[in-house]
């Protein structure tokens, strides 16, 4: 059934529309979730780009294959709804399926003329408003580094434009993204300074998931991709996570307090905020079961399978780390730490131009609506095979 002949007005969160599949072959379909937009991946062998299936008398699942990478999560508690939303993606270069994410807090969806809109619940519908997403195109690029958009220099190359969207920083005279000296790039995305000014000052809240490599300083050196390593049995990767709620406090460094990961959000409404780290990966190269992870207060000097040591925690699938932050005296207001994940290898990943893992940090919707996380280009980072230089645009290709 072609997309241009198929129109579903509104399918609420009940099994009112029956089950259907859409191959999306005759036209380009798009998916929108909030402010995030993705092309629907329609050329996955044997799989429809969009499918809606009843899984019970009052339960149903909407699944969409996205051409790019879309990482989503439910931040906070939400009411029970009968409609679930599942995001899928396949690396068409290798024919590898990535892990899928099944999400709640969806009120309805609308499809018309090749456009599918997933409508999250609001506090007045199911008491929700927790569904939050961040994503990139298939080549890892984002349309803009800013939540509300940014005007690019029309003379910039794809490399220059994409790095500007990726790093919230105004480079000094003479710096070039075509041949970058990464030691000059700020390691801390959430706390700019006069010497390292930001494109936008994030005064409400800041969130960032970034790549980092060992350097001359203890904190390492900023990198465009996650640091990865493999011994042929396990695949290990590390990223830096930064989060802040409230305005930057000059001279106050972010702290690390493991007690904030107890799963209990601080009370206080506008004096607290929820963030969440989410991960997706190539499920035909890496295995979810048997994985481990740890949180570190400093970047390890080397990356090996035993880097977590006694701090390793069991991980059975996609990693999700809730980060509640609050203004003093309620809780910690800012944090920086490193996440290390080790997963067993079950296949091969022969491409150096497509990623193996993707990791993102999400900010809850009420904070976004108040202007928090205004620079969203550094909210997602990809990890490649250790000998890769990342997406082609990262090296001027």
For the segment 74-124, what is each residue's pLDDT rounded down to a tens digit?
887 777 778 899 999 999 999 999 998 888 888 888 988 889 999 888 776
Domain boundary among 103, 136, 169: 136
The residue among 140, 174, 135, 141 whose CA lies nearest residue 35 is 135
* Between 387 and 371, residue with greater pLDDT: 387
Write the pLDDT tens digit of every residue in 20-76: 555 444 457 899 998 889 999 987 877 788 988 887 777 889 999 999 999 999 887
Q: State the chain's mean pLDDT as an integer.
A: 83
Confidence of residue 219 (pLDDT cuts 50, 70, 90): confident
| Pair (173, 126) in one structural domain | no
What pLDDT, on the 0 to 100 scale, is given for residue 125?
Answer: 67
Which range, of 4-13, 25-34, 216-225, 325-334, averages the lowest pLDDT?
4-13
In a domain, residue 188? The reply is: yes
In a domain, residue 386? The reply is: yes
| Pair (117, 197) in one structural domain | no
* Spatial distance between the Cα atoms of 187 and 167, rounded to a whole number of angstroms: 10
In a domain, residue 361? The reply is: yes
Which range, of 262-271, 313-322, 341-350, averages the lowest pLDDT?
262-271
When pLDDT is averaged across residues 369-385 and rounded to a whole number, the result is 92
In a domain, residue 142? The reply is: no
| Pair (86, 38) in one structural domain | yes
| Pair (187, 68) in one structural domain | no
| Pair (319, 376) in one structural domain | yes
**Residue 359 forms beta bridges with which residues?**
279, 381
What pLDDT, on the 0 to 100 scale, is given for residue 77?
Answer: 74
In a domain, residue 64? The reply is: yes
Residue 29 lies in domain = 3-136
When pLDDT is averaged across residues 363-369 and rounded to a whole number, the result is 86
* Between 7 and 348, residue with greater pLDDT: 348
Determine contact, residues 365/130, Cβ cutoff 8 Å.
yes
| Pair (272, 238) in one structural domain | yes
In a domain, residue 146? The reply is: no
Which range, of 190-199, 226-235, 256-265, averages the lowest pLDDT?
256-265
pLDDT exceeds 70 at position 209? yes
* Spatial distance between the Cα atoms of 341 and 235, rounded to a whole number of angstroms: 8
């Amino acid at each position: 059934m072609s997309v241009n002949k198929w129109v579903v007005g509104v399918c609420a969160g009940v099994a009112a529309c029956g089950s259907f599949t859409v191959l999306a072959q005759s036209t380009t379909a798009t998916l929108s979730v909030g402010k995030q937009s993705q092309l629907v991946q329609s050329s996955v062998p044997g799989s429809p780009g969009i499918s809606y299936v009843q899984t019970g008398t009052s339960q149903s699942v909407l699944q969409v294959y996205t051409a790019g990478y879309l990482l989503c999560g439910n931040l906070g508690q939400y009411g029970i709804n009968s409609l679930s939303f599942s995001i899928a993606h396949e690396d068409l270069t290798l024919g590898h399926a990535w892990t899928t994410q099944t999400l709640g807090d969806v009120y309805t969806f609308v499809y018309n003329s090749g456009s599918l809109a997933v409508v999250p619940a609001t506090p007045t519908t199911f008491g929700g408003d927790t569904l939050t997403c961040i994503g990139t195109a298939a080549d890892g690029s984002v349309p803009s580094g800013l939540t509300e958009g940014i005007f690019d220099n029309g003379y910039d190359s794809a490399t220059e434009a994409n790095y500007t969207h990726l790093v919230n920083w105004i480079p000094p005279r003479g710096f070039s993204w075509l041949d970058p000296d990464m030691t000059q790039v700020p390691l801390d995305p959430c706390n700019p300074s006069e010497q390292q000014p930001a494109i936008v000052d994030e005064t409400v809240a800041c969130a960032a998931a970034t790549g980092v490599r060992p350097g001359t300083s203890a904190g390492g050196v900023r990198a465009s991709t996650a640091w990865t390593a493999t011994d042929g049995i396990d695949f290990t990767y590390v990223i830096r996570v930064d989060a802040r709620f409230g305005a930057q406090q000059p001279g106050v460094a972010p702290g690390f307090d493991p007690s904030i990961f107890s799963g209990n959000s601080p009370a206080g409404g506008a004096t607290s905020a929820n963030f969440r780290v989410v991960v997706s990966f190539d499920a035909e190269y890496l295995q979810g079961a048997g994985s481990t992870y740890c949180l570190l207060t400093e970047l390890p000097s080397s990356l090996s399978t035993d880097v977590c040591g006694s701090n390793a925690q069991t991980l059975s699938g996609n990693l999700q780390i809730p980060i509640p932050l609050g203004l003093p005296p309620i809780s910690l207001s800012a944090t920086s730490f490193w996440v290390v994940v080790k997963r067993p290898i079950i296949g091969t990943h022969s491409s150096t131009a497509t990623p193996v893992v993707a990791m993102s940090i999400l900010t809850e919707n009420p904070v976004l609506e108040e202007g928090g996380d205004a620079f969203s280009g550094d909210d997602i980072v990809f990890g490649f095979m250790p000998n890769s230089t990342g997406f082609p645009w990262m090296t001027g290709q």
